[in-house]
Amino acid sequence: MKVLHFYKTFGLEQFGGVEMFIRHLTHATATQGCENTVLSLAREPMKPVTTSSFRLVQAKQDLHIASTGFSWSALGAFARLAKQADVIHYHFPWPFMDLVHLLKGLGKPSVVTYHSDIVRQKALLRLYLPLMKAFLGRVDSIATTSPNYLESSTVLRRYGQKACSIPIGLEQDLYPRPDVTEVAKLHSRYGERFFLFVGVLRYYKGLHYLLEAMKFAPWPLLIAGAGPMERELKQIAVENDLRNVHFLGQVSEQEKIDLMWASYGVIFPSHLRSEAFGIGLLEGAMLGKPLICSEIGTGTSFINQHEETGIVVPPADAAALRQAMQALWDNPALAERYGLAARARFLGTFTAQGMGEAYADLYARVAGR
């Protein structure tokens, strides 16, 4: 089965949420006999490269407006690669992708992973809506990353007959092993117990509520990641004298795993539906950490089951975040129990093997039509 993946950004050293999903998915489906090609855009495209899981082809990005990349050369590259593919796998949202499908992809079996509703750009959404409806109406199957998102998305309700849920799964062997020396250094510097957030510092991550919850808190909080909200969040921390909040900036995959391994609990306070899943939260479950997240009707509360793997609080509620952190901090036995349950839930629901088998089956079904 030859599968062409099409997404706006994908590179060998890119580890955003969708990029991580594609990396783990292609690894998993390659073991199911799929030959994966990934077509993406880049300002400075690299030459095609082949790995054990996928072949990467990049087209030059000519324009970037409202988080949407455009490329004239991608039209030709897509048409050429689509002819060789049995199934085209799209990753939504990306308006340029919709246009390419309608111009060059009709007639090919198609699957789209619906990663997120469009939440913030309301005005542009009204302009985009006809194109989006035409795209979603013509693909053969739509997969969401959690049943929570499938049930709560108003967009997906009209496509119920061809929509399904396939949870994101991770392959732990694709991650580096924890460095025990670095883990010891983290404990020496920040204490034996600290809470951890890992992710891009964006508007929907709820970090300003988390900082509000940290006022006069006795526990350390480490924030790993960079992004457009970084300066504002650091200013809030300074203004409120939050000396127990530590901004680590962008971290490598090795550093991330060391931080996760060393942490007492993983907190993911995203308060808007732009947070469709939460790879960082799932990585915490993979490593057996107790979890804290908000209920926003998406994958975060599918990963984290309230009072089973951790605590789920109302969104945009600093007091509730603080109470959840206090509950774990005051009860190490409870935190350990949640962590063990999080690990068990990961193994039962969120492995890359399970995800790969489900997508391989979906590919076969749409190709067979």
pLDDT, tens only, 165-213: 999 999 999 999 999 999 999 999 999 999 999 999 999 999 999 999 9
The answer to whether the 2-171+351-368 and 172-349 domains have the same CATH topology is yes
Please tell me the predicted confidence (pLDDT) of residue 120.
Answer: 72
- Residue ranges in the chain whose pLDDT is less than 50: none
| pTM for the structure as a whole | 0.94
Regarding the domain delimited by 172-349, which CATH topology (the fold level of the hierarchy) does it fall under? Rossmann fold (3.40.50)
Residues in CB range of 2: below 8 A, 6 or more apart: 34, 35, 37, 84, 85, 86, 87
Please tell me the predicted confidence (pLDDT) of residue 190.
Answer: 98
Q: Which of 277, 333, 251 is nearest to 18 (CA)?
A: 277
CA distance 116 to 275: 8
2-171+351-368 carries CATH number 3.40.50.2000 = yes
Please tell me the predicted confidence (pLDDT) of residue 2.
Answer: 98
Dihedral, CA of residue 93, residue 253, residue 348 and residue 350, to nearest 10? 10
> Domain boundaries in the chain?
2-171+351-368, 172-349
Please tell me the predicted confidence (pLDDT) of residue 66.
Answer: 78
Residues in CB range of 24: below 8 A, 6 or more apart: 168, 169, 170, 171, 174, 352, 355
**β-sheet bridge partners, residue 40:** 58
